[in-house]
Structure 1
Amino acid sequence: MSKIVRNSVLLTMLTVIVLFISACGNEDTPENNDTQNNGDNNTSPEEVTLESEMGKVTIPTTSERVLAPYHEDALLALGVTPVAKWAIGQMVQDYLEKDLSDVPKIEWNMPMEQVLSHEPDLIILENGLDSYEGTYDDYNKIADTYVMTAETTANWKKQIEVFGKLLGKEDEAEKVLSDYDEKVADAKKQILEALGDETVAAIWVAGDQFYIFEENRHSAEVFYSELGMNVPELVKNLGEADVQWNPISIEKLSELDADHVFLLALEGEQGLETLENSSVWKSTPAFKNDNIYILNDPSNWTNKGIIASKKTIDDILSVIVE
């Protein structure tokens, strides 16, 4: 081989090596991608920047002692046990007690001394800050504090997504929601086969008073919006749910044209006896057709959350689908 040819080959090989090294240096390695992705928010992999009621905030995703009063449902769904649970006096969210029976209570208005005693490293609050004893700044001095937007406060599915980001559990959040959608689809099919176009209503009995669920009241969204159960005319006429839930008279129940009725009442509620002795109640289509279903644990029906919704679906299937 001539000297000129040999030099040409060496030059070509050197050029190829240089180009290869340059390409490797510019390759999007996982480390480079992490840097780029987090650089957009100027955060590290152990932090997340989210919109909140207080504007954009950056929160560590490594919190272990979490306090999210009244939204323990979302925490438990993601495998997180809170340091304290929401309560009004002795009243708690009963349907969560299987997992929270050993967790101490904290009053609904978040007294500062109680918050301090639980030593949280993350506090999650609703957007309505006026309901709490302290201010955002007060709580933020104790621990990193995230205030949900109005949209997130009102939408439990959004809460799962946001909590997943706050706690570094985005994959878990995605799976939880996906599994729920599958449960809804399966239940909807079974209920349609069992009920066809028959209508359904739910009544909460508290003491000697009766509360009909509007279409968007608590768990009613589950059976009307998600499961596609048909709405009786009386419920349609109630319109959107107000913040204040007003009882309905027993005389008004004569207009309840539902084919099936869920009665939600603790054992021994006076209202159950009142209905048993009422000719008005006995004249309703559901009573005449023996389609009254008494459920003695109403707590999940009067809450919103993924665990509450799943329990409500199970309640419905247990009596509607045989």
Structure 2
Amino acid sequence: MIRFLRGRRLATALAAVLLSAVACGSDPAPAPADHAATAPKSGAFPVTIEHKFGSTTITSEPKRIVTVGLTDQDAVLALGKIPVGTTDWLGGYTGAIGPWATGKLGGAAAPTMLTDTGTGPQVEKIAALAPDLIFALYSGLTKEQYETLSKLAPVVAQPKEYKDYGIPWQRQTEIVGKALGKEAESGKLIEDVEAGFAAARKEHPEFTGAGAVVTTPYEGFFVYGSQDPRSRTLTSLGFTLPADLDKVIGDKFGASISKERSDLLDQDAIVWTVPDIAKDSDTLHKDKVYKDLQVVKQDREIFINENGDYGKAFSFVTVLSLPYVLDRLVPQLAAAVDGDAATKVVQPSS
């Protein structure tokens, strides 16, 4: 199931962590060489970045970067740096690098992959990597976890102005660029992806003002709110979310809704992320409440296999994954909202 990852408090003491790292008897792997990287802007350091737990100052160009944020690696790679450690989220990719981003490795070895099993970052393994910067932007890092990791290296945590796991990809890219001394480069990357959204809106004016929602079949109907990156993909294309969506969800990135609030699903288009398109769509269409919605009767549903590359890219929502997603999602949305129930929403061939 996609994305139900939330940090819990760390129980491991830092002293034990460092002793464990020393006891391994091996030096950390050398930092991988930057691939096609440009030097940071002169005078970029020191730089101070504000976040949920205060501020972090980076005094010099980072060489050994670990990403605790589940998608932060893409912005790092896009700016010409290869992390020494990444955190696995959706599985199936060496070093937690998706196919939309592997070209940025340039033949270099993939990063060491960490996991988060629900107890928080793997502090021992992070310590062994000897990081000089840790990113936790797309994360639910707790204050205790932040303080523990900060004893290993400067930590750039999630911004306080967004819900956990709610940072927009633009802000993620911007912060990474600032931390790496590459603000101008990050700005250009953002402009290029935003140009793709603008082109799609221009080509499909029918998107503007149309209603849409992203959901998944978890404990009934699980809907994603306005601060979830997947929802932001739709709004960036011109779609509007249900008016009561955030009120129903509360302070979370998403929530399961009751059958009484199935009206939230009855939009001009509904995007489902599911483990098995054939099986899950069949199950949904047998649901007495769901099958009577107009969005179903008029065949305005989009099903995305959450276990495939497209589905994982759709959930990633980064400066590198979004072009990959738009090439596939825009034609599906166009078919869903063209006003002709006979138009089939075709699954991408790859």
TM (norm. structure 2) is 0.64
The alpha-carbon deviation at position 251 of structure 1 amounts to 5.5
Could you report, residue by residue, the CA deviation over 1:34-78 in whole angstroms, capped at 9, with x for unpaired residues?
A: xxxxxxxxxx836232243444624212x2321121222321332
Q: Which residue pairs with 1:157 in the alignment?
A: 170
Alignment CA distance shift 1:248-1:81 (3 Å): same
- Contact 1:254-1:280 within 8 A present in 2 as well: no
| 1:36-75 equivalence runs, <5 A | 45=43, 47-53=45-51, 54-55=54-55, 57-61=57-61, 63-70=62-69, 71-75=72-76
- Aligned partner of 1:192: which letter? P
For 2:89 and 2:198, the matched residues in 1 are separated by 35
For 1:277 and 1:58, the matched residues in 2 are separated by 55
- Contact 1:190-1:321 within 8 A present in 2 as well: no
Alignment CA distance shift 1:122-1:213 (3 Å): closer
The alpha-carbon deviation at position 296 of structure 1 amounts to 0.6
- Contact 1:201-1:212 within 8 A present in 2 as well: yes
- Aligned partner of 2:245: which letter? L
For 1:279 and 1:146, the matched residues in 2 are separated by 47
- Contact 1:210-1:271 within 8 A present in 2 as well: no
More moved, 279-288 vs 298-307: 298-307
Q: Which residue pairs with 2:239 in the alignment?
A: 229
For 1:90 and 1:131, the matched residues in 2 are separated by 27
Instruction: Please identify which structure carries the higher helix content.
Output: 1
Q: Which residue pairs with 2:187 in the alignment?
A: 174
Q: Which residue pairs with 1:282 in the alignment?
A: 291
Equivalenced residue count is 270
For 2:150 and 2:240, the matched residues in 1 are separated by 46
Helix, strand or coil for the counterpart of 1:115? helix
Q: Which residue pairs with 2:196 in the alignment?
A: 183
For 1:131 and 1:294, the matched residues in 2 are separated by 37
The RMSD of aligned alpha carbons is: 3.5
| 1:59-208 equivalence runs, <5 A | 59-61=59-61, 63-70=62-69, 71-87=72-88, 96-98=97-99, 99=101, 102-108=110-116, 109-126=120-137, 130=142, 133=145, 136=147, 138-147=148-157, 149-151=159-161, 154-193=167-206, 195=207, 198-206=210-218
What is the identity percentage for the equivalent residue pairs of Structure 1 and Structure 2? 20
The alpha-carbon deviation at position 169 of structure 1 amounts to 2.2
For 2:180 and 2:132, the matched residues in 1 are separated by 11
Please, which runs of 5 or more residues in structure 1 have no aligned partner?
1-43
The alpha-carbon deviation at position 118 of structure 1 amounts to 1.8
- Aligned partner of 1:69: which letter? V
For 1:147 and 1:239, the matched residues in 2 are separated by 24
Helix, strand or coil for the counterpart of 2:48? strand
Please, which runs of 5 or more residues in structure 2 have no aligned partner?
1-41, 103-108, 336-350
Could you report, residue by residue, the CA deviation over 1:120-151 in whole angstroms, capped at 9, with x for unpaired residues?
A: 23223459753654x53x54453344445424
Q: Which residue pairs with 1:29 in the alignment?
A: none
- Contact 2:214-2:271 within 8 A present in 1 as well: yes
For 1:278 and 1:113, the matched residues in 2 are separated by 47
- Aligned partner of 2:45: which letter? E
The alpha-carbon deviation at position 217 of structure 1 amounts to 2.8
Alignment CA distance shift 1:236-1:168 (3 Å): same
The alpha-carbon deviation at position 91 of structure 1 amounts to 8.7
Could you report, residue by residue, the CA deviation over 1:236-276 in whole angstroms, capped at 9, with x for unpaired residues?
A: 12235422632124464366331222121122686433212
- Contact 2:56-2:155 within 8 A present in 1 as well: no
The alpha-carbon deviation at position 96 of structure 1 amounts to 4.4
- Contact 1:205-1:269 within 8 A present in 2 as well: no
Q: Which residue pairs with 1:259 in the alignment?
A: 268
- Aligned partner of 1:103: which letter? P
- Contact 2:201-2:208 within 8 A present in 1 as well: no
- Aligned partner of 1:105: which letter? M
TM (norm. structure 1) is 0.69
Q: Which residue pairs with 1:37 in the alignment?
A: none
For 1:190 and 1:167, the matched residues in 2 are separated by 36
For 1:184 and 1:164, the matched residues in 2 are separated by 21
Q: Which residue pairs with 1:14 in the alignment?
A: none
